[in-house]
A and B are shown apart, each in its own frame.
Chain A
Amino acid sequence: MKGLDLAVIGAGPAGLAAAIEGGKRGCRVAVMDMNLQPGGQLIKQIHKFFGAREHSAGSRGVDIARRLYRDAEGVGVEILTSCEVYSIQPGNRLEVILTSFGDSNRGHSQSSTYMRRRHESISAKQVVIATGGAENALNFEGWTLPGVMGAGAAQTMANVWRVLPGERVLMVGAGNVGLIVAYQLLQAGAEVKAVVEAAPEIGGYGVHAAKVSRAGVPILTAHTVVRAFGESQVTGAQIARVDESWNPIPGSEQELDVDTICIATGLRPNTRIASLAGCKLMYSPVLGGWTPIHNKRLETSVPGIYVAGDAAGIEEASTALEEGRLAGIAAAVALGKGRREDREEIEAIAARLSSLRGGPFCAERAVAKQEILSRAEAICQKD
């Protein structure tokens, strides 16, 4: 597989959307993803999205992922799973490890040849980095014990693989991820003992909090997890109230009988491959931390490398889709494969992105994104 027009790293909403736009414009596109299935984190979203119809409101993430996958294949995009890009060398040369798995029919099952890894160097004229986000960890006594896991990990286990990650759960964090996953673990049959939130207020939407509360789960604000009990795995948790400086208040500790502690303390952009490619980053607390600097067309400080979705600042699936479209079109235009109507299309996407960042919950994201653009302009002028 040599000589791509467009290589997309990550087959989540941003990556698939970018690939579809490239494919539609006649680019030779491949999407690479290290997981077993494409779709990114959409495949574990089994709740209905809300918002506007143009952003698939009323659909479940897992269905949106299927649609994207089909559309991508329909325009000739190659989707490679179990495919890990570990480096981008100058000139947009991607260093890739492709893993293939034998099956039992071929007698591979018990041998080390079951798993074959192959290295390839793939050059691409344009690259879209759509590597998504990573969950933040939380350091407390016992946090490395089996049974302490990201809320996203628990959600993947339950909703994608249909395995209950634990029976009695403490959820740490009452943002949208914490609330939604707490509710989904209840749906999957777990008992959620409590949701603790260190901030004085619930961070997530009221509708999600209401569902969790109606199910009888206490949401304890100004509380945090202090320690996990257990020798080889979690056998309990201690929580405590926190003061205004986030410090646990002595004497306020409570013990919970749980076997699982889920951490939902925010996400950060997964910038590892962008950093390796030499993309300049800036720190943006609102967008989750270090974020690749990019211009309006989502091009980073490295020409021909774009970034889209959570990898370009933590937002949500609908913004990831729009950013992916934008990056895909921009990459195609840069290759001389743009369409006459692309200028209008880009404007329409930009307008939808501003409306997505317009609500009271997300106005600060609009400001943060603007700061990224200003930094990109400053870099351009310096160069």
Chain B
Amino acid sequence: MRIKDHPILGVLPEARWVKIRVDDREITAIEGEPVAAAVSAAGIRVHRYTAKRGEPRGVFCGIGQCTDCMMRVNGVPNVRTCITPVVEGMVVETQLEAEPKEFS
């Protein structure tokens, strides 16, 4: 949920709203905000399922330290969504980690 009005920060500033795809959903996001923020605003909390136990993970540290929020972004796996900005039309996928490791 977006915080549209805030007692200290005021109303949500003007921004460029764009559409991005998350799995089979199209969501609106603010260009330049972290993918994690856009995904969270859309009510999506599961970012990935772990390789060994298939357990769900979501945002944990929010500042690029912990890697819990990784998703597949434009086909690239293991992208820390909390420090990766939104651009229009990007494709984000829940990461299923039974895959071999890839490095980009």
Contact = CB atoms under 8 A, between A and B. Distances in A.
Interface of A: 34-36, 41, 46, 60, 82, 101-104, 108-112, 114-115, 117, 134-135, 144-150, 152-154, 156-159, 161-165, 167, 187-189, 232-233, 270
A145 B56 contact: yes
B7 interface: yes
Given A109-B89, A152-B63, 13 more contacts: A101-B84, A103-B87, A104-B31, A104-B88, A109-B87, A114-B90, A147-B58, A148-B60, A153-B59, A162-B2, A162-B9, A163-B2, A164-B3
Given A101-B85, A134-B65, A145-B56, A117 B104 contact: yes
A163 B65 contact: no
Query: Size band of the B side of the interface?
Result: 35 or more
Contacts of B83: 34-36, 82
Contacts of B60: 148-150, 153
A295 B65 CA distance: 28
Given A114-B74, A146-B57, A148-B60, A233 B85 contact: no
Contacts of A148: 60
B74 A112 contact: yes
Contacts of A146: 45-47, 56-59
A14 to B, nearest CB: 16
B70 to A, nearest CB: 13
Contact of B40 (A46, A82, A104, A163): A163
Q: Which of A82, A101, A153, A233 has the most CB of B within 10 A?
A: A153
Interface of B: 1-3, 6-9, 12, 18, 31-34, 36-37, 40-41, 45-47, 55-65, 68, 73-76, 79, 82-85, 87-91, 104
A188 B6 CA distance: 6
Question: 4 nearest interchain CB pairs?
Answer: A146-B58, A153-B62, A161-B37, A104-B88
Q: Which of A110, A111, A112, A147 has the most CB of B within 10 A?
A: A110
Contacts of B47: 146
Q: Which of A104, A134, A164 has the most CB of B within 10 A?
A: A104
Contacts of B62: 149-150, 152-154, 156-157
Nearest to A167: B1
Nearest to A146: B58
Contacts of A164: 1-3
Nearest to B40: A163
Contact of A162 (B3, B59, B76): B3
Contacts of A46: 8-9
Contacts of B74: 109-112, 114-115
Contact of B46 (A115, A157, A162, A232): A232
A269 to B, nearest CB: 13
A149 B7 contact: no
B85 A36 contact: yes
